[in-house]
Structure 1
Amino acid sequence: MTSAPAPQLRGPTLAVAAARSAATYLVISVYVIIVGPPGVLLAIVFGWVDLLYVLARGGVALGLAVAGIKYDVEGRGRLRLDRAAVYCANHESNVDAPLLFLVLHPRMRLLFKAEFRKMPILGRACMLAGFIPVERGNPEQSQRAVDQAAAAIVAGHSFLVFPEGTRSRTGELLPFKKGPFIMALKGRVPIVPVAIHGGRTAMAKGSAIIRPVTVHVRIGEEVPTTGLTFEDRDALSAEVRRRIERLLQEQV
């Protein structure tokens, strides 16, 4: 399914959007600078990793509020708060990951770009929180990342993944990578399909402008992996893709 393109901003409307976006980036930067170092230090010294999650969720909520982004969630009762799961979502925007991190699970882990480790505060916080870096273009490291994620899943941690591996410019689902499904199979946990609609309008790929819109999140019925083997990974991927597509179509 291809979603409608975001309307073009011009003149005063563009100026207002640019100013609000700049304010959002400034507020988040100041927030990270103020709360990040003590949060990281306390996590290192006392093992207060939960504090990092609280601070991160607070920062996301603050950023969304300043940007004027609202959201609604359908299907909260399908969240797997009692045990681990892999949440697979479509990916249209840089807004997707922080928003889903906020609404899906209080201790959600993510796979993140390895280059983010170079960021002195955020990179360290991500590693302490158990997020797993992935090096694009490095198959061996990517496989190690999948294995690390699977081990964390076995230990009871849920993950948010974007099986497309990158953001879609059109809203149409891109081909799925196999990693998320191998993670779920190795971890022996269900996959929860998630559809996020409106992220591309909020912040299109290639644009730094953030628009004040309402983003819709729909959580689907879980896809069990019980009894499946690695030979079933393509069929599992196809089923999850079909469910995400259906969730997106139901949002239009």
Structure 2
Amino acid sequence: MFWVFSVSFWAFIVLTCPLFFAGALLVWLVTLPFDRRRVALHLYSSAWASFYVYICPLWRLRVLHRDRLPWRGPAVLVANHASLIDILVLFALFRPFKFVSKQEIFRVPVLGWNMRLNGYVPLVRGSGASVRRMMELCDAHLAAGSPLMIFPEGRRTSDGSLQAFKNGAFDLAVRHGVPVYPIVVHGTRRALPREGFVLREHIRARVEVLPPLLPADFADVGALREATREAIAAGLAAP
């Protein structure tokens, strides 16, 4: 049953994405002269991604404490990463952030084109040059007042456990003196694990924004990193 539904659902996404991208192009063209941070385009993209979440009969999503996130001003948003669905549900936050994502997704037709239009940040894992370029782009976005959305584990977990966090997101927060917002994503791995594209079961996903952590309250990048990981781990453990 689930594989039949999965084929139908992914086919629906493939067929409708070009229509949504046409709308994205229109938004980009109309707002280009006055929306340098491409906020309108990102919010359109958020509605596009959220549409697929809310129409899927297997998924139910709740977003908690969205109001903690700023509408304006730089910040670093970090979330645990267990499934491709994480990207879709995080768009449901409807805040104007810039995603940092692996380069491969930018090569996907239509979706990758929209990511480039939005000014999201590509990263090639294991490439020092790509990491340096990613940090430069992130510096520019923060300096322009745009929040960043980063998965500090670097890749999806294979067994559901929270992996070690990398320093990049927290180095950015410390150098720019901006808050870190830990975000807990519950339930997505059960719907679509790291292996395969078959939707597995009904889920009640939950995205929870935790209180911000201020770099000034921590001794260094490592202390901020570990405090953020502990906050997300505690959130994942909560019922």
- Shorter-normalised TM range: 0.7 to 0.9
The answer to whether the 8 A contact 1:110-1:131 is kept is yes
Offset, 1:173:
0.9
What TM-score do the two structures reach when normalised by structure 1?
0.84
Opposite residue 12 of structure 2, the aligned amino acid is V
2:210 alignment counterpart = 220
Superposed displacement of residue 35, structure 1: 2.6
Residues 192-230 of structure 1, C-alpha deviation per residue, up to 9 Å, x if partnerless?
1111110111211102122331102221111001376xx
How far, CA to CA, are the matches of 2:217 and 2:230 in structure 1? 20
- 2:87 is the counterpart of 1:97: yes
Deviation at 1:41, TM superposition (A): 5.7
Alignment equivalent of 2:129, drawn from 140, 158, 162: 140
Mapping 1:162-173, distance limit 5 Å: 162-173=151-162
RMSD: 2.1
Per-residue displacement from partner, 1:103-122 (whole Å, max 9, x unpaired)? 2x431210122123333422
Residue 243 (1) aligns with residue 228 (2) = no
Q: Secondary structure at the match of 2:45?
A: helix
Residue 119 of structure 2 is matched in structure 1 by: 130
Matched position secondary structure for 1:226:
helix
**Cα distance in 2, alignment partners of residues 101 and 20 from structure 1:** 23
Instruction: Tell me how far 1:23 sits from its aligned partner.
Output: 2.2
Q: In the TM superposition, what is the alpha-carbon distance from 1:58 to its structure 2 partner? A: 2.6
CA distance in 2, matches of 1:62, 1:189: 31
CA distance in structure 2 between the partners assigned to 1:81 and 1:27 by the alignment: 32
Deviation at 1:165, TM superposition (A): 0.6
CA distance in 2, matches of 1:77, 1:56: 19
The answer to whether the Cα contact below 8 Å between 2:69 and 2:95 also exists between their aligned partners in 1 is no
Tell whether the 8 Å contact from 1:20 to 1:67 is kept in structure 2 after alignment.
no
Residue 35 in structure 1 maps to residue 25 in structure 2: no
Structure 2 spans left out of the alignment, 5+ residues: none
CA contact under 8 A between 2:77 and 2:148: conserved in structure 1?
yes
- Name structure 1 gaps, 5 residues minimum: 1-14
Q: Once the 2 structures are TM-superposed, how far is the Cα of residue 134 of structure 1 from its aligned partner?
A: 0.5
4+ residue runs of structure 1 moved beyond 3 angstroms?
48-52
Name which of 55, 64, 76 aligns with 1:74.
Answer: 64
Question: What's the counterpart of residue 73 of structure 2?
Answer: 83
Task: Tell whether the 8 Å contact from 2:6 to 2:198 is kept in structure 1 after alignment.
Answer: yes
Aligned residues: 233
Assess if the C-alpha contact under 8 Å between 2:76 and 2:178 holds in 1. Answer: yes
Structure 1 pair 138–148 and aligned structure 2 pair: CA distance change class (3 A): same
